[in-house]
Structure formats: C-alpha cells, structure tokens
Chain A
Amino acid sequence: MKTFQLTRPKDNAQAIAAAAKSKTAQQGAEIRFIAGGTTLIDLMKLNVETPQSLVDVNRLPPDKIEATPDGGLTIGAVVRNSDLAWHPLVRKNYRVLSEAILSGATVQIRNMATTAGNLLQRTRCMYFRDTAMPCNKREPGSGCGAINGFNRNLAILGTSEHCIATNPSDMNVAMAALEATIHVYGPKGERSIPIGDFHLLPGDTPHRETVLEPGDLITHVTLPPPAPGNRSLYLKLRDRTSYEFALASAAVVITVANAKITRARIALGGVGTKPWRSTEAEGELTDQPATEATFRKAADAALRDAKPASQNAFKLELAKRCLIHALKLATQPA
C-alpha cells in the first residue's frame, strides 16, 4: 500500500477545506474522505486507489436517524448500515431499505459501512480490481477487459462500449425506489441531489461515477414520507444464499387499491451500471390491474434496452423473473 497522511478534521468545514485541494473526487483522487473504509481500504490494499491523504470523517456529525417534520426521514452520512437497517422507523415505513441492506455483505461489514460510503461503493468488476488488467474506469483509455472477457456478473443496462461494470450496492437500489435525496456540503455551499441524478452512466468517462466535485462531503440523505398504503420489498437473486452480490435484484414500492395499482416505484440491482430506476416499468404498472400479465409487461419494459455481453445474457430473463416475483409478493393479500 502507498503511504498516506491521515488528518482528523474537527468539523465539516475543516474536512471540506482539506479535501477541496484534490484534483478530482473520482477514481484516483489524491485526497479521500474515509469512514467505514470497507471499500476504500480494500482497494488501497490492491493499489486500485492510492490516495496521498485520508480525511477521517467518522466522528463528524450528523450520525443520527431522525423523522423529518413532513413525516420523512433524515439519515446522517456516517450512520452505519446495521443501525439504518434495524431502525424502527425504517423497519416500519421503508421496509425495502431494511431488506436491501440486510441482504448485502455480513454483520461485521454492515457494522462498519456507512450510508454515504455505500452510496459511493465501487464495482466488483474483476478487471477494475486487478491492476494488471486493462480497465477504462481505473485507468482511462486502457481499454475494457470485461466486454470480451469474464462478464457473467456485469451489467446489461446503462452500459457503453467503454465499460459494463455493475453498481454493486443493494442499499442504492432501495434508495432509488424510495426517491432519496443526497445532501452535499462542499466548497460552494450546500446542495441537494436526487439519487437518480447522483450516479453517472459510464459513457466515455467511466472513471466518473458520481456528480461529486473535490471537497464535496455527503452530510445526510433524506427520504420522502412513505406513500400512504404502500407495500415495499427487496428481492435479491444470487449464486449463494448469503454474502454474495446480486445477479439480479428488484426494489418495489407499490400501492394497490381495489385490485388496481395506483402508484409504483421500481428499481433494479445487479444489472445496471448505476442503481437502475425503471420509470418504463412504473408506466406499465400505474392504473393497471395487479395481475401477472401486467407484471410481465412491466418487466419487459424494464429490460427493453438491455444489451447483454458474451456471458451475461441469462440476466435478461433472470431480472424479469425477479421483478415479476417481487411484484407478486408485494401485491398478494396480506
């Protein structure tokens, strides 16, 4: 591992000032915030990330989960995944978020990983993680080893000719279906970013994964009030029953009245280069009867633009079945 300086800022302003000197906030940033470290330290051990300076934000507030006046929720950036998943308000009002987090990683890792860190979780693409391999995300212009290589686990939605790396987070998929807002404090002040605008498609700049600029510090995430009468769940399909990344997953937040779907929010995981909200699927569901035929139409719409690579075409049908089954579970009589 390359050596680095560790700084422990007293407040957000100090942390931001320290990180603002970085040339980039994206892949290869020379200054990085560190919280749980479960992604960053792993990548530093692999020399995929080689920051010269780490800014410890573990003890910066806010680290709480609180109800907002409008009935929503605010989640501090360094709230640990375990605390978020088991919080009574999350269990009660945002079940999909609790289930998504608990389906990922292990107890030990969830005790360490933070909300903001999970938003920034890096791909598990083996070419990204191996410095002997070409990877446009790690080293722009070096090529993509995955497109004609081992790509069974990689994305079929939102890909480009330069990168097909999957966003690995389960939490992000639930956050997308819940329409979370990410609050950032940076050198130019505060701003709020809807989660749909936070992650970037790879396009021809796969090394740029989010809209964050140098010094931008995620301070908290807010969730809107739960839609009245909604049911939500997260269904994850994978090679092992535990401690494995998704081959396909679905986050469903749905309201049914008199056997008709009145509102649906759908996001897919394991298949997209970013947490994959599907407004196409939502369009096929809204104002339609809650039947398998409707669910099938929604699944077809969600995967319509999918572009499989040599080894991952199975994900197309798997993702559809995953979404259909999740919708069945979420709409069956209680």
Chain B
Amino acid sequence: MSNQDKTPERPEADARSGFGQSTRRTFLSRLGMASLLATAGPAVTTLGQRSGKVEQVTSPESKDAIPVTLRVNGKKHDLRIDPRTSLLDCLREHLHLTGSKKGCDHGQCGACTVHINGRRQLSCLSFAALHEGDEITTIEGIGQPEKLHPMQAAFVTCDAYQCGYCTSGQIMSAVALLKEPCGPEDAEVKEFMSGNICRCGAYPNIVAAIQRVRQGAKAG
C-alpha cells in the first residue's frame, strides 16, 4: 500500500522540466540509474564512476566471458561476452542498438526480429556467440530518420502502428518478406507475417503498408 500512496512521478513531465535535452532513451536510463543510486548505494556508485557516462554503463564482465566478433550493420565489433548472452541482449545491452525489442524473449512475438545473412530470424532465440562471421542487420541498419527505408515510410503513411513496440520487428519481417516466395493476396501476407504479434491490433494497416510497398515496387 505504501507505494501506492505516493504520487507516481510522470516521466513525460520530468523529461520536459529536468532533462530538457534528453532523448527518451537517455532520460529513461538516467532515471533507472538515479533510482538504483538512491537504493543500492556504494556498489552502484563505483559502476557509475568507472564508466564516466551514466548512459554507457554496461554490466561488469562475466567470469565466463568469451571473445566474439560480430558484424552488425556493416560494422565489426570485437566483444567479450558471457556465452549465455542472447543475440538480442548483445545488440541492446552491449552495442546499444535498442531498436530491436524484447517482447516475450521466447521466440513467440517477433519483436526481436533481425536479418542474419539477409534472412529474418529471432535474435532472442539465439546466442550472440553463434553468429561469428554472420552479417547481422538491425532496424538501425535498414533506415534512419532522415533516410527512411520505403517500408518504414509506408508504415508511417499507412499508420501501421499504435504503441510502436512491435514495429521494428514488423518492419524487419516486412522488408525480408519482399524477397520471400509470398503470394500477392492479403491472406498470404498475413500468413507470412504471423510471427509478428501486435498487441494494439494494427494488423490491417500493417498489411496495407506492406502491400503498398510491394505494389510500388512492381510499378517502379
């Protein structure tokens, strides 16, 4: 009960007043660190001091860490990671590519979809250490705000999302679908997209966005 008695802080309001220049992500990670510092004391302070910048804090190296070299979005990364690290956690927590999302973490929702050697796969259901020599592409490698991939642009045009959490996975699947043996009908698109769950239920607009790109590609 005691927690509920307190008025919860509103991150949006704080973002405007306290951290005016923050992106949502740096703000949230600072907020997370601040609450940790408030509760955990000296151990976490050491972490913060060691890395200098709060938003770049990474976990201390595991005693079982092994060297792994990954190629992500055309860039080579030499890492030392615990072999248990999923490819998704490696992308998000070690390479700070947070576009790929963790939904179920059991291969059931598709939010973590990335391309490996040009084919879509689930990054939560694989270990990063299994991907030496593979070419990994994340949503960050598909397009950027100033230069959207046609599929990203179509998702905007067709309003193919609501909360946006599943969207990067949806777009990674949709981009891969363009090269897959998917028939022209909406029903085929739905079958090929069945591995990407949208809790908001934006499915009709997702199908519309994909068909828009496919028809545009044919016309062009």
A37 touches B130 (CB 8 A): yes
The segment from B12-20, B35-43, B119-127, B212-220 found at the interface with A is B119-127
The verdict on B99 contacting chain A, using a C-beta distance below 8 Å, is no
- Tell me which of B84, B119, B122 contacts A1 (CB under 8 A): B84
A112 touches B125 (CB 8 A): yes
CB neighbours of B173 from chain A (8 A): 107-108
Give min CB distance, A110 to chain B, whole Å: 9
- Tell me which of A37, A107, A243 contacts B125 (CB under 8 A): A37
B130 touches A58 (CB 8 A): yes
CA distance A328 to B13 in the complex (A): 65
CB neighbours of A34 from chain B (8 A): 127, 130
B122 touches A109 (CB 8 A): yes
Residues 94-143 of B contacting A (Cβ, < 8 Å): 105-107, 110, 113, 116, 119-122, 125-127, 129-130
The segment from B51-59, B144-152, B186-194 found at the interface with A is B186-194
CB neighbours of B122 from chain A (8 A): 38, 108-109, 112
CA distance A45 to B113 in the complex (A): 18
B129 touches A106 (CB 8 A): no
The verdict on A242 contacting chain B, using a C-beta distance below 8 Å, is yes
- Chain B interface size band reads 20 to 34
The segment from A2-10, A15-23, A261-269 found at the interface with B is A2-10
Instruction: Label chain B's interface by main secondary structure.
Output: mixed
A4 touches B83 (CB 8 A): yes
CA distance A3 to B176 in the complex (A): 33
- Tell me which of B62, B126, B130, B195 contacts A107 (CB under 8 A): B195
The verdict on B185 contacting chain A, using a C-beta distance below 8 Å, is no
Give min CB distance, B160 to chain A, whole Å: 18
* Interface size in chain A (residues, C-beta < 8 A): 27
B129 touches A6 (CB 8 A): yes
The verdict on B64 contacting chain A, using a C-beta distance below 8 Å, is yes
A242 touches B126 (CB 8 A): no
CB neighbours of A5 from chain B (8 A): 64, 83
Please judge, given known A-B contacts A107-B195, A243-B195, whether A6 and B176 are in contact too, CB under 8 Å.
no
CB closest chain-B residue, reference A46? B106
- Tell me which of A6, A37, A108, A242 contacts B120 (CB under 8 A): A108
11 contacting pairs across A/B (C-beta < 8 A): A3-B64, A4-B83, A6-B66, A41-B86, A42-B125, A54-B83, A56-B130, A108-B120, A109-B107, A111-B119, A112-B125
B residues near A, CB below 8 A? 62, 64, 66, 82-84, 86, 105-107, 110, 113, 116, 119-122, 125-127, 129-130, 173, 176-177, 180-181, 190-192, 194-195
A residues near B, CB below 8 A? 1, 3-6, 34, 36-38, 41-42, 45, 54, 56, 58, 82, 86, 105-109, 111-112, 241-243
The 4 closest A-B pairs by CB, nearest first: A106-B195, A242-B194, A243-B194, A6-B83
